[in-house]
Amino acid sequence: LGGVFESMAMKVIINSLGFMLVGLGISCIVPTLYSFVGAKSKTPVSIALTILSSISFIGSLIAPLLIGAISQAFDIRIAYMLIGILGGCIVLIVSFSSAFDIQKSGDKPE
């Protein structure tokens, strides 16, 4: 929803609202992701969280470069729309993944 606002809006206020919605979504996801990795990882927790932090840091370095390249080749709206579409793909992948299923207390992990 935030990606649609930030890519399609012509007014600064609506763009700002889109960025705010994206920020609110990320602020909810990041702590959940860290706790999930800490609880479900087969590697030691310290190593798993270090890997996750490294990947997220690399992503924060690469994302502005990709957004700039796409916006220079096409348009800034296309770049933000692509980010919104990729975010939607992540939601679909996670919703169909069995890794995030909640196990009942009597069930054995697979």
Q: What is the pLDDT of residues 96-105, one digit of tens each?
A: 876 656 555 5
The CA distance from 5 to 15, in Å, is 6
Q: Output the furthest CA–CA distance in the chain (Å, rounded).
A: 55
Residues 38-61 have pLDDT tens digits of 888 788 888 888 888 898 889 889
25: Cβ contacts below 8 Å, ≥ 6 apart: 2
pTM for the model stands at: 0.61
Q: Which of 12 and 79 is assigned the larger pLDDT?
A: 79
> Which pLDDT score, from 0 to 100, does residue 68 have?
93
The domain segmentation of the chain, as residue ranges, is 2-95
For 3, other C-beta atoms within 10 Å of its C-beta total 21
The CA distance from 70 to 53, in Å, is 26
Q: Residue 9: helix, strand or coil by DSSP?
A: coil
Most confident region among 1-5, 65-69, 106-110 by mean pLDDT: 65-69
> Above pLDDT 70, what percent of the chain?
80
